[in-house]
């Protein structure tokens, strides 16, 4: 498992003029903002200090790449970050560097020869095509494309910023850089423009659960996710309850489709009951076996379990990629996004905040826990689950009226905040044991939570789950406040 203090190497490879140097420079700036300064091995410094005296034979090219790889490897081994932007045309030497380097991330910057000729203001490609320049990579010398790069970007179709975002997403998923909280919900004019685009894009109909997942992804409640899981993360979550990079995730967040839908590619508009809920940039499609997911996540293959039933009614395949979510109309008074909860905390001047979340009305035991919390913590977030829950639950309207009485008449207004999850609890992440606390954790409210599955679920995948992956996470006990306890007023 990686962590955000591990060293790593981002190895950009592609033909001359594809945009490697531009991406390297922008990536360096992005990593610096996240507290991970990086060295870029490119340009004059490499030519002066590493490549001086080398020619264009294959042997000299290999020597050049080995020298760059050696410096990058030293940085990574000592916790640093290196970004290389050499052409590195030969697959064998790139694989050699990969085998020797910790946390090696190969990024293929693809660009067609026609586009490279068009971009080439010096006319070098035209001269090479005319035979005037020998040993020119991509023309008279081979360039061997990577077979399985960690990231592939297309500089003809993607802006440099979009390419950098794709690389950063991979680093986040690997746990090599921290994922900052992001609210990606579109609003106002930006949303209007995106909805206009959605009307002309291919449409994909989604159910209520998937529509809720789209909103949760967009609101940042599922940070570090910015979209539906790819195959690697999906398998890891099913088997270990963690993303491939190590971040805990109890339930796979996927967009299931049938076999025909698995052929979908590019940008598609997601519609639920005739209204657009977001846009998906499809990066991958894969099989997602329902039987294995049911056993590992829910601990049973029985369709009597609502989660298993919903799983079997969905498709056999899944689409993966980042999501752009629209802010729905008509959110209620308490339907607050994570960003709005943070703003409420800041407005109240709370340094610490604890969250209480349940699908039930408040019991006496709940009241006691909340009052104890208020004796030690600056603020209390009451965060009830509403919407579709169990068939024999007290109706959501009644539950909310109970909470409103507490907020209005019982707890001090300056010490409490009421909020609900603005997505309906039909969201796949809100209907599963363990996910209520995970959603609260994603709100960054300072509560102590377990992100594991229930023991009965983790046991079912014991053969494929690493030791301890299914056990409860123990969080450090919060130190008591140094100021005297505050008395809660009735």
Please give the C-alpha separations between residue 292 and each of 115, 158, 234, 236, 239, in angstroms, as whole numbers: 45, 36, 11, 12, 9
Distance (Å, whole) CA 177 – CA 8:
10
Answer yes or no: are the C-beta atoms of 470 and 241 closer than 8 Å: yes
The residue behind tokens 């008395």 is 487
Answer yes or no: are the C-beta atoms of 177 and 168 closer than 8 Å: yes
Answer yes or no: are the C-beta atoms of 355 and 439 closer than 8 Å: no
**Beta pairing, strands 317-325 & 227-228:** antiparallel
User: Any bridge partners for residue 317, and if so which?
Assistant: 257, 287
The residue behind tokens 């005319």 is 130
User: Any bridge partners for residue 320, and if so which?
Assistant: 284
Token digits for 250? 């109890």
Token digits for 317? 């395949």
Which 8-state DSSP code applies to residue 351?
S
**Beta pairing, strands 266-272 & 203-205:** parallel
CA 18 vs. chain centroid, Å, equals 27
Distance (Å, whole) CA 273 – CA 111:
40
Backbone angles phi, psi at 305, to 5 degrees: -75, 125
* Cβ neighbours of residue 343 closer than 8 Å, sequence gap 6 or more: none
User: Which residue in 16, 51, 88, 447 is the catalytic one?
Assistant: 88
Token digits for 21? 């140097």
Handedness of CA 152, 155, 158, 159 (dihedral sign): positive
One DSSP character per residue, 38-89 reads EEEE-HHHHHHHTSTT--SSHHHHHHHHHHHHHHHHHHHHTT-EEEE-----
**Active-site residue, 88 included:** yes
Q: Radius of gyration of the chain from Cα atoms?
A: 26
The residue behind tokens 């601990």 is 299
**Beta pairing, strands 317-325 & 275-282:** antiparallel
Distance (Å, whole) CA 457 – CA 46:
53
Please give the C-alpha separations between residue 60 and each of 20, 55, 57, 66, in angstroms, as whole numbers: 21, 6, 5, 10
Report, as residue numbers or ranges, the catalytic residues: 88
């Amino acid at each position: 498992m990686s962590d955000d203090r591990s060293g790593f190497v981002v190895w950009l490879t592609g033909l001359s003029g594809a945009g490697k140097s531009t991406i390297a420079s922008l990536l360096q700036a992005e990593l610096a903002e996240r507290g991970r300064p990086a060295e870029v091995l490119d340009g004059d410094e490499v030519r002066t200090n590493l490549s001086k005296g080398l020619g264009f034979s294959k042997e000299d090219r290999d020597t050049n790449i080995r020298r760059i790889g050696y410096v990058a490897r030293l940085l990574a081994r000592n916790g640093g970050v290196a970004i290389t932007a050499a052409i590195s045309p030969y697959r064998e030497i790139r694989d050699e560097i990969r085998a020797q380097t910790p946390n090696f991330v190969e990024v293929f910057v693809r660009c067609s020869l026609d586009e490279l000729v068009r971009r080439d203001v010096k006319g070098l490609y035209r001269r090479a095509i005319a035979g005037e320049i020998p040993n020119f990579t991509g023309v008279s010398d081979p360039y061997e494309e990577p077979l399985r790069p960690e990231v592939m970007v297309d500089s003809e179709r993607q802006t440099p910023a979009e390419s950098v975002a794709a690389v950063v997403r991979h680093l986040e998923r690997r746990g090599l850089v921290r994922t900052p909280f992001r609210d990606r919900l579109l609003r106002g004019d930006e949303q209007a423009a995106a909805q206009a685009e959605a009307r002309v894009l291919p449409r994909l109909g989604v159910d209520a659960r998937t529509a809720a997942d789209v909103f949760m992804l967009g609101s940042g409640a599922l940070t570090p996710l910015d979209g539906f899981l790819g195959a690697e993360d999906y398998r890891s979550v099913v088997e270990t309850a963690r993303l491939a990079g190590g971040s805990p995730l109890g339930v796979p967040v996927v967009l299931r489709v049938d076999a025909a839908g698995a052929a979908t590619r590019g940008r598609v508009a997601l519609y639920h009951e005739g209204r657009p809920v977001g846009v998906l940039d499809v990066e991958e499609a894969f099989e997602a076996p329902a039987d294995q997911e049911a056993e590992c996540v829910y601990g049973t293959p029985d369709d009597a379990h609502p989660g298993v039933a919903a799983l079997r009614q969905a498709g056999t395949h899944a689409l993966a990629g980042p999501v752009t979510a629209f802010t729905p109309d008509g959110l209620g008074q308490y339907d607050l996004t994570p960003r709005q909860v943070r703003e409420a905390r800041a407005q109240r001047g709370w340094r610490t905040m604890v969250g209480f979340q349940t699908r039930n009305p408040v019991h006496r035991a709940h009241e006691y826990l909340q009052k104890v919390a208020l004796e030690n913590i600056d603020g209390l977030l009451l965060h009830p689950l509403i919407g579709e829950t169990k068939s024999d639950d007290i109706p959501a309207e009644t539950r909310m009226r109970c909470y409103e009485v507490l907020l209005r008449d019982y707890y001090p207004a300056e010490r409490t905040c009421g909020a609900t999850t603005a997505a309906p609890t039909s969201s796949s992440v809100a209907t599963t044991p363990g996910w209520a606390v995970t959603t609260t954790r994603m709100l960054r409210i300072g509560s102590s939570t377990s992100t594991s599955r229930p023991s009965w679920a983790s046991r079912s995948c014991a053969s494929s789950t690493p030791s301890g992956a299914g056990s409860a996470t123990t969080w450090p006990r919060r130190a008591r406040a140094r100021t005297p306890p505050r008395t809660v007023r009735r």
